[in-house]
């Protein structure tokens, strides 16, 4: 397939953006409306967590098998098969009536959706020199549009239709992307490796087992960290040992599935660390923000989705400006420090918000996270991590990065959930101790000092009203603690970035 035609060229740019947008759109919609999905299929939190672990485990295996699949089927055919699997999985999820049906649907989605991020980035390698710049911009545009539209669309669906609409709408979208891919994406690889990848059954089994156990431990930590913490730590270490064994198994082979030896370097590892940090923060904040706004501040779901979505779309011009600046002043450290400074400001501003804050006040801090931090930090990591990686092994290097992304997203979600549970429980008990007959100060201020009617035969409705108020206030305070922690983590990360001399 020739790229000389200007119409074909522009359509190929569209395909790069649409492929990655599809994956981000579905992933963020599921995260945003997880409580609605859980209620719709009658899933306990542990069961919904298992669905997430199964999705991530399948996705990691498929990501690391990406180039081998391309070599078996060709790029265009592999992508079209992936879109078919993604669409069938979305249809299964949208029609699911119970937890097993939903889990199977998500696993089928993962078989297809795992290819999108890597494929979008690898397609950029078809271009050389200045012709690569528009292609490089197409990918972040797709990511930002997918991330921005997801909360808006999810909020609209759950408020006006059903959570099922978030999955069913992906079927025609996958069909639309398939039409574009069939016309624009070539069958051949952009850069072919002289030595084809080789799939080793034992290595794949070890990889699949290790990833599933690690994801399962991370997801279960949200619920069993204190009751079965020792078992979870043991399971996590066992999973890591299996994955290290898989790495050793691949490293020593002449024809590995992933040629780690050819691209692993100090710069690459440091870049993965920056990526991991960014994904952890974004994943955790994407979970906490809707909780903070809807449950803590009492903002309507649709307004929450609209605010988060529009704030993310600000990142489109930021990504364009960032790329131009990077081409002229390629100083990685300073862009990272700028992004971390914005994250620190975001944490401080969010920590100071209270119940009576107007919606407009939240625009700036949310924009700092979604519209500025993400393009600056993740975009800078992309520019620095793969510098020096040869194009013949670029696909492998990017596959490993995307596999790490799945694990980092799970870790961010688990840590955010654990922090929220710990701090909200602490604040709830402290607030309860200062309310009603449990506190000698309650009711000691004269007239109007018994707002809940707790001193004289409180009714069940008064107690219920008190419970709702305490839960809301404790959730608000827990989220404020989380944002304060984000600010402190940003400050510590900025000190480390300023101190290091390797990733500059």
Looking at residues 240-264, what average pLDDT do you find? 80
DSSP structure string for 326-392 = HHH---HHHHHHHHHHHHHHHHHHHHT--TT--GGGGHHHHHIIIIIIIIIIIHHHHHHHTTT--GG
First to last CA, the chain: 38
Q: Residue 190: its pLDDT value, please?
A: 84
Residue 453's pLDDT band, with cuts at 50, 70 and 90, is: low
Residue 5's pLDDT band, with cuts at 50, 70 and 90, is: very low
Q: Residue 452: its pLDDT value, please?
A: 57
Q: Do residues 33 and 158 lie in contact, with contact meaning Cβ atoms separated by under 8 Å? A: yes
Q: Does domain 265-437+464-504 have CATH number 3.30.2130.10?
A: no
> Residue 3: pLDDT above 70?
no
Identify the residue with better confidence: 28 or 202: 28
pLDDT digits (tens, 9 = 90+) for 44-53: 777 777 788 8
pTM given for the model: 0.84
> Residue 145: pLDDT above 60?
yes
Please give the Cα distance from 339 to 304 (Å, whole number). 24
Q: Do residues 142 and 136 lie in contact, with contact meaning Cβ atoms separated by under 8 Å? A: no
pLDDT digits (tens, 9 = 90+) for 178-221: 999 999 999 888 877 666 777 777 777 888 888 888 877 877 77
Please give the Cα distance from 227 to 238 (Å, whole number). 19
Question: What CATH number has the domain spanning 1-194?
Answer: 1.20.1250.20
């Amino acid at each position: 397939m020739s790229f000389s035609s200007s119409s074909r060229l522009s359509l190929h740019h569209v395909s790069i953006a649409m492929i990655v947008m599809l994956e981000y759109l579905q992933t963020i919609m599921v995260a945003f409306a997880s409580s609605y999905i859980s209620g719709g299929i009658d899933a306990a939190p542990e069961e919904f967590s298992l669905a997430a672990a199964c999705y991530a485990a399948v996705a990691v295996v498929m990501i690391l098998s990406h180039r081998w699949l391309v070599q078996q089927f060709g790029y265009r055919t592999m992508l079209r098969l992936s879109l078919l699997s993604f669409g069938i999985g979305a249809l299964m999820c949208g029609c699911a009536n119970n937890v097993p049906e939903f889990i199977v649907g998500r696993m089928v989605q993962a078989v297809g959706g795992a290819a999108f991020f890597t494929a979008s980035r690898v397609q950029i390698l078809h271009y050389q020199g200045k012709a690569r710049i528009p292609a490089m911009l197409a990918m972040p545009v797709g990511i930002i549009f997918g991330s921005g539209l997801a909360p808006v669309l999810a909020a609209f669906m759950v408020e006006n239709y059903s959570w099922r609409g978030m999955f069913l709408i992906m079927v025609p979208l996958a069909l639309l992307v398939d039409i574009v891919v069939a016309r624009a994406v070539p069958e051949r690889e952009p850069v072919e490796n002289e030595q084809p990848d080789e799939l080793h059954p034992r290595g794949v089994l070890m990889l699949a087992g290790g990833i599933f156990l690690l994801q399962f431990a991370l997801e279960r930590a949200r619920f069993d960290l204190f009751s079965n913490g020792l078992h979870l730590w043991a399971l996590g270490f066992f999973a890591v040992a299996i994955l290290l064994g898989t790495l050793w198994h691949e490293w020593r082979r002449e024809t590995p599935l992933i040629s780690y030896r050819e691209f692993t370097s100090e710069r690459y590892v440091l870049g993965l660390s920056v990526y991991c940090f960014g994904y952890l923060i974004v994943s955790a904040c994407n979970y906490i923000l809707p909780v903070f706004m809807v449950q803590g501040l009492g903002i309507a779901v649709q307004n929450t989705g609209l605010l988060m979505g529009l704030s993310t779309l600000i990142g489109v011009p930021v990504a364009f400006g960032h790329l131009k600046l990077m081409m002229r002043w390629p100083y990685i450290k300073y862009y990272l420090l700028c992004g971390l400074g914005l994250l620190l400001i975001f944490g401080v501003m969010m920590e100071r918000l209270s119940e009576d804050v107007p919606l407009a006040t939240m625009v700036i801090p949310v924009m700092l996270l979604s519209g500025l931090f993400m393009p600056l930090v993740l975009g800078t990591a992309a520019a620095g991590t793969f510098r020096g990686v040869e194009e013949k092994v670029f696909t492998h290097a990017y596959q490993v990065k995307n596999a790490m992304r799945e694990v980092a997203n799970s870790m961010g979600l688990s840590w955010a959930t654990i922090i929220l549970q710990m701090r909200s429980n602490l604040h709830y008990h402290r607030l309860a101790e200062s309310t009603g007959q449990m506190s000698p100060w309650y009711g000691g201020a004269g007239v109007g000092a018994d707002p809940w009617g707790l001193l004289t035969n409180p009714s069940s409705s008064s107690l219920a009203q008190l419970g709702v108020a305490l839960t809301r206030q404790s959730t608000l305070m827990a989220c404020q603690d989380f944002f304060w922690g984000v600010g402190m983590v940003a400050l510590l990360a900025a000190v480390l970035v300023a101190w290091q001399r390797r990733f500059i």
